[in-house]
Amino acid sequence: MSRLLVTGGAGFIGSNFVHYVLANTDHTVTVLDKLTYAGNLASLDGLPEDRFRFVKGDIQDAALVDALFAEHDAVVHYAAESHNDNSLANPRPFLDTNIIGTYTLLEAARKHDTRFHHISTDEVYGDLELDDPAKFTEQTPYNPSSPYSSTKAGSDLLVRAWVRSFGVKATISNCSNNYGPYQHVEKFIPRQITNVLRGERPKLYGKGENVRDWIHANDHSSAVLTILEKGVIGETYLIGADGERNNKDVVELILMTLGQPADAYDHVVDRPGHDLRYAIDSTRLRSELGWEPQFSDFESGLADTIAWYRDNEAWWAPQKDETEAKYKAQGQ
Q: In the prediction, which pLDDT does 326 show?
A: 87
Query: Strands 244-246 and 211-213, how do they pair?
Result: antiparallel
Quick check: is 35 in a domain? yes
Of 103, 125, 148, 179, which one is the catalytic site residue?
148
User: Strand, helix or coil at 90?
Assistant: coil
The mean per-residue pLDDT over the stretch 135-144 comes to: 97
Please give the residue range of the domain that contains residue 84. Answer: 3-178+214-239
Quick check: is 219 in a domain? yes
* DSSP code of residue 277: B
Q: Please say if 123 is a catalytic residue.
A: yes
Domain of 173, CATH number, reads: 3.40.50.720
Q: Please say if 156 is a catalytic residue.
A: no
Of 81, 123, 156, 324, which one is the catalytic site residue?
123
**The pLDDT of residue 257 is above 90:** yes
Q: Please say if 81 is a catalytic residue.
A: no
What is the number of structural domains in the chain? Answer: 1
Q: In the prediction, which pLDDT does 1 show?
A: 59
Bridge partners (DSSP) of residue 225 are none
Quick check: is 267 in a domain? no
In the chain, what percentage of residues exceed pLDDT 70?
100
Quick check: is 154 in a domain? yes
Quick check: is 171 in a domain? yes
CB atoms within 10 A of CB 189: 23
Quick check: is 63 in a domain? yes
Averaged pLDDT of the chain: 95
Quick check: is 189 in a domain? no
Q: What are the tens digits of pLDDT across the range 71-108?
A: 999 999 999 998 788 898 999 999 999 999 999 999 99
Query: Strands 74-77 and 3-7, how do they pair?
Result: parallel
Of 33, 81, 122, 156, which one is the catalytic site residue?
122
The mean per-residue pLDDT over the stretch 188-198 comes to: 97
Quick check: is 88 in a domain? yes
Task: Pick the range with the lowest mean pLDDT from 95-104, 152-161, 289-298.
Answer: 289-298
30, containing H or E segment: strand 28-33
